[in-house]
Structure 1
C-alpha cells in the first residue's frame, strides 16, 4: 500500500512539474494556491504583474491582488475548476502600487485534489485576442459588468472566427431571471450592487474565454459557452444566490433556452450581421421570426440558419425572384389615379406569403436592405420601360429604406441605374421609408438632391410618427409626404383631429410639399382628410395592391 501511495504521489508531483515547465513556456508567472486560495509558491515575473517579489507572496490571499471588478469572476472560475479539473484561459487585471492596474493578464490553470486540493495557476501579460477596433468599441452594463447587446454580438463573432481552426462547437444560452427587475428595485443599493456583480460573475465564468456573456434586457442574459457547461446547475446556483439576497427569502425563477452557435465557413462580415440578428431573434421569440422553409420553428443552429436565410434572400433579390404589386394613390377630391406605390412580395418554399414588414426588418438587421432596394429599382425601371413601349405612362413610387441612404455604394449604384434608364425616369418616384432611422441626415440630403437632378420626385413616408420626421423635412428637399395612417385613424376619434391634420397639411403646403393620406379605408376617413386639405389619398377604399395595374383603368387609357 505504501508503495502505491508513494507511486501515486510521485506521479502527481511529476504532473505538477510538467505543468510548471509548460506554464513557463506559455506564461510569465506560476502560482500554486491552497484550498483557501492563498499563495504557497510563486515563481516568475511577479513584480511586473502583482507588484511584489515572489518571496514576498507566500501566505497571501491571491484574491486580494485582483482588481475588485475581477474578484467575483476569478472566484467563480476557480470554483468551476474544482469540478472540471482545469480553468480555461480568461483575462484579468491586478492591483498595483499607486492605485494603478496591471495590463490585461491571461490566466489559466488546473486543480489537483490529490495534492492537497491545490490550484496551479499560470499568468502572462496578455495580447488582447480581440481586434483593437472591437476591443475599443465594447460597452458594458455598469451593474453586472456584462457586455451590452451589440458588444456581445461583436465578441461572439470574434470568438466564433477564432475557434474555427480548432473545430470547436459552441452553444448560446438565453437565461431569463423572471421578476428579477422588481426584486432589484426593492433591494438596498449595496445589496443590489453585490447581487448584480454576482450574476455577472456566474455568467462570465462559464462563457467562452470568461468574457463572452452579455445583458440583453432587465431580466435577460446571454452567453456563448462550451457544450459541456451544466446550464441546469448554473440556473440553480443563480437562483440560490438571488434567494439568499432577497430580503423576503423567496427569490425568483430562472429559465434558460439553449441553441447551437457554430459558424462553419461564414465570411466574417456576414457572420457579424448574422450573429446580431440571431441574438435579437432568439431574445424576442426564442426562434426565428423571418423564415424561408429552412427557418420554420426552432432553429437547430441559429447562426448557420440565419446565414442560410441571408444567402437565400440575397440570391432571390439579386436574381429578381420576387413579385411586385401596385397600389393606387389618388388625387382628392375626385379620386383620379395619380401614381402607384410598388410593393414587394416574397413567398417561402411552401408558397406562403412572408409579411413584408417582417422581410424588411430582417433585411435591415442583416444589412442587406440596400440589395433589395436596388433590385426593386432595377425591376421597376425595366417595368416602366416596358409600359412605355405599350403607350402606358403609369408613374410608380419605389420604396427606399432610410438605412440604404446611409450606404454610399448603394447611392452610387442608383445614380448609375439612372444614367442607363433616363427614358424611364419621368415615371419614377422614390419613397423614403423610416423603418430604420437615417443617421447622417446631411449626407442623405445630398444624395436626394442628386436623385432629384434626374427629375425623380421624392416622397417621405410615415410623416408624423416621430420627431425625426420634422428634421428630415427641414433638411431634405422633397416633393411629397405621407401622413401615417394610424395618426389619421386616431384623428377620427377626437374633435381635435381635424385641426391636428390641417396643421400638418398647412405646414407642408407652406414649404411647397404635397401631402398624401395613408390607409384610408372608410368614407369617414376620406371626408376627414379631404376637409383637412390633403392632396392625395391611398388605401383599400380606393384600391388594394394588384399585380396587374390595368384593373384600375377606366377608359383603358391611364389618366394623370
Structure 2
C-alpha cells in the first residue's frame, strides 16, 4: 500500500511539474492556490501582472488581487474547477497600486484533489486583445504584412487607451530606409518579397504586442514600442539584412526619429483622430506653421501636443475667437460688387497669421472642420444682422467643407441655426468647397436642397476639369459654380483651352447655373473670362480681403470724384 501511495504521489508531482513547465511556455506567471484560494507558491512575472514580487504573494487571497468586477467570475470558475478538475481560458484583470489595472490577462488552470486540494493557475498577459470592430477593419501592406496607415492609427489608439489603465509607457519610432524604393525596384520579385517580409518581421517583433507596426510610405515605417527597445541595434540589423539581399551589396542607410506617444486624459474619439494626424505630420518631418501652443515640434509628446492644439482650436472656434475678412465678387462686365466671400483668419500665439490652407487641412484631418464651418455660419449671420441694423444690405458667401456635408450633426445644427435667423438668410450664400471629397453625393444633395428651402443660394467652389466636379454639378442643385483660377490660367493659354472654357460656361448656363472666375489679377484675364461668358469674377484686380467692407464704398467714391 505504501508503495502504491508513493508511486501515486510521485506521478502527481510529475504531472504538476509537467504542468508548470508547460505553463511557463504558455504563460507569464504560475500560481499554486490552496483550498481557500490563498497563494502558496508563485513564480514568474508577477510584478507586471499583480504589481507585487513573487515572494510577497504567499498567503494572499488570490481573488482579492483581482479587479472588483472580475472577483465573482473567478470565484465561480474556481468552484467549477473543483468539480470539473480544470478551468477553461478566461480573460481577467487585476488591481494594481495607484488604482491602476493590469493589462488583460488570460487565465487557465486545473484542480488536483490528491495534492492537498490545490489549484494550479497559469496567467498570460493578453496584450494582443483588440476590440472586434478594430480587428475587422484592419488592412495590411501586402508586401511587408505590416498595418497600413489608418489601421496602425487605430491599433495605436487602442494601445494608448490600455496604457492609461496599466501605467505603461510607449514611444513611437519613425524609421526611414533611405533609397529603399529604388533598391526594391531593381530586385527580382522573389528576392524583393523575401526582403519585404524580413523588414516587416523585424519591426513587428519589436513593436507592442508584436503587431503595432505599419508601413507609412515607400520608404517609411512606424512602430509603437516599449522605451527599452534598442532602436540603434534594430537599425543595424535591418541594414545588414538589406545589404545581404541587395544584388549589388550596397544596401540602405536607416535613420530613425523617436517621439513620445503617451497620452493624458484624452477622449477616445479625439484620441483616434489625433493619433492619425500625429502619425501623418510626424512622417512629414515638418514643423507646423500654426502652433497655438507650439504644436508638434519634434520634441515632447506628439499626441498630447496634437490634442492640446485640438482643444485650443475647438475653444477658439466655439467662442468665435477668430477674425473674418471679406473679398468682393463682382458682376461682369461692369465690375459692380455682387456679394462678398467671408474668409476665416487665425493667428498663432505670437500674432502671426496662420496659413488658411494649413488650418483647413488640420481641421479636416482631426475631424473638426464641421465645428469651424458652423462657427463661420453663426459669425456671418450675426454680422449680416449688424449690417442690416445700420442700413447696409450686403450678401455674404460662407465656405462649407464637403467633409461637413457628410456630418449629419453639422447639417442638423445648420438647419436649426437657419430656423432661428429667417430675417438674415436672404443675405447668406454657401460655397461648397472640395478640399475634402464628398463620398455620399446623394446625401449631400439632399442637405443642399434642404438649405435652399430657406432661400440660401449655393455655389460649388473650386470647379475645374476634374470628373468629380461634373458629378457634383449633375447631382446637386446649385446656383453658381466658381471655376478654379489655375484651371482658368491653363485653359486660356491655348485656342483649344479657351474653346473648352466657353463650352463649360455654356453648359452651366443651359442648366441655369451662373459662373464665377476666381484669382483674376490682371486686365487681360478679366477680358478673357468676359469674352468666355463668365458672369462674375473674384481676385486682387477687384479687391483684396478686408475686415472693413466700408473700404470698398470709400474707394468707389474716391474713384468717382
Counterpart CA distance in 1 for 2:336 and 2:206 is: 65
Q: Is 1:420 the equivalent of 2:415? A: no
Matching of residues 63-142 of structure 1 within 5 Å: 129-142=129-142
- In 2, the alpha carbon distance for the partners of 1:145 and 1:270 equals 28
Distance in 2, matches of 1:191 and 1:213, equals 22
CA distance in structure 2 between the partners assigned to 1:25 and 1:213 by the alignment = 25
Match of 1:531 in 2: 531
| Distance in 2, Cα, partners of 1:184 & 1:401 | 39
Query: What secondary structure is seen at the aligned counterpart in 1 of 2:343?
Result: strand
Does residue 357 (structure 1) correspond to residue 357 (structure 2)? The answer is yes
Q: Counterpart of 2:325 in 1: which secondary structure?
A: strand
- What is the match of residue 433 of structure 1? 433
Shift of 1:295: 1.7
Quote the residue 2:36 is aligned against: none
Deviation at 1:495, TM superposition (A): 2.9
Alignment of 1:127-276 (within 5 A): 129-276=129-276
Could you say what secondary structure the match of 2:140 adopts?
A: coil
Q: CA deviation at 1:296?
A: 6.4
For 2:398 and 2:327, the matched residues in 1 are separated by 11
- Counterpart CA distance in 2 for 1:282 and 1:19 is 47
Q: Is the 8 A contact 2:290 2:348 kept in 1?
A: no
What CA deviation, in whole Å up to 9, does each residue of 1:529-557 have, x standing for no partner? Answer: 0010000000000000000001111677x
What secondary structure is seen at the aligned counterpart in 1 of 2:494? coil
Check conservation: 1:376, 1:398, Cα contact below 8 A.
Answer: yes
2:542 match: secondary structure: coil
Query: 1:482-515 CA distances to partner (integer Å, 9 max, x unpaired)?
Result: 0000011212322323212111111111111000
| Aligned counterparts, 1:371-520, within 5 A | 371-520=371-520
* Distance of 1:532 and 1:123 partners within structure 2: 76
Instruction: Say which SS state the counterpart of residue 495 (structure 2) adopts.
Output: coil
Change (3 A) 1:125 1:299: closer
What's the secondary structure of 2:346's corresponding residue?
A: strand
Check the 8 A contact 1:293/1:350 in 2, yes or no.
no
- Does the aligned pair in 2 maintain the 1:175–1:221 contact within 8 Å? yes
CA distance in 2 between partners of 1:133 and 1:293 (Å): 34
Give, in angstroms, the shift of residue 297 of structure 1: 3.3
The 5-angstrom pairing of residues 240-389 of structure 1 reads 240-295=240-295, 297-389=297-389
Is the 8 Å Cα contact of residues 203 and 223 (structure 2) preserved in structure 1?
A: yes
* Structure 2: stretches of 5+ with no match in the other structure: 1-15, 31-104, 108-121
Report how far residue 293 of structure 1 moved. Answer: 3.4
- Superposed displacement of residue 128, structure 1: 5.7
Classify the secondary structure of the residue corresponding to 1:139.
Answer: coil
CA RMSD between the two structures? 2.6
Q: Measure, in 1, the Cα distance between the counterparts of 2:127 and 2:169.
A: 24
Per-residue CA deviations over 1:268-306 (Å, capped at 9, x if unaligned) read: 000000000000001112544542132263241110000
- Is the CA contact 2:215–2:222 (under 8 Å) kept in the aligned structure 1? yes
Provide closer, same or farther for how the CA distance between residues 19 and 504 of structure 1 changes in structure 2, counting only shifts above 3 A. farther
SS in 2 for 1:527: helix
Deviation at 1:27, TM superposition (A): 4.5
Change (3 A) 1:296 1:219: closer
SS in 2 for 1:370: helix
Q: What is the SS of the residue equivalent to 2:341?
A: strand
Deviations 1:322-358 (A, max 9, x none): 0000000000000000000000000011100000000
Cα pair distance change 1:106/1:486, threshold 3 Å: farther
Instruction: Indicate the residue corresponding to 1:68 in structure 2.
Output: none
TM-score, structure 2 normalization: 0.77
Name the SS for the 1:478 alignment partner.
Answer: coil
Aligned to 1:341, what secondary structure does the other structure show?
A: strand
Question: Aligned partners of 1:346, 1:430: CA distance in 2, in Å?
Answer: 21
Q: Aligned equivalents of 2:266 and 2:25: distance in 1? A: 34
- 1:489/1:335 Cα in 2 relative to 1: closer, same or farther (>3 Å)? same
* Cα distance in 2 for residues equivalent to 1:392 and 1:22: 84
> Whose Rg is larger?
2
Q: CA, structure 1 residues 543+28, in 2 after alignment: closer, same or farther (shift >3 Å)?
A: closer
The whole-number CA distance in structure 1 between the counterparts of 2:330 and 2:432 is: 19
Distance 2:452 2:409 in 1: 18
Is the alpha carbon distance of 1:28 and 1:541 closer, same or farther for their aligned partners in structure 2, counting shifts above 3 Å?
Answer: closer
> Cα offset for 1:465?
4.8
Give the distance between the partners of 1:18 and 1:518, measured in 2 at CA: 79
Shift of 1:155: 0.2
TM-score (norm: length of structure 1): 0.78
Structure 1 residue matching 2:431: 3-state secondary structure:
strand
When residues 536 and 363 of structure 1 are mapped into structure 2, their CA distance, relative to the original with a 3 A threshold, is: same
Deviation at 1:202, TM superposition (A): 0.3
Which moved further from structure 2: 320-329 or 503-512?
Answer: 503-512
Q: 1:300 to 1:347 in 2, by over 3 A?
A: same
Contact 1:288 1:299 in 2 (8 A): no
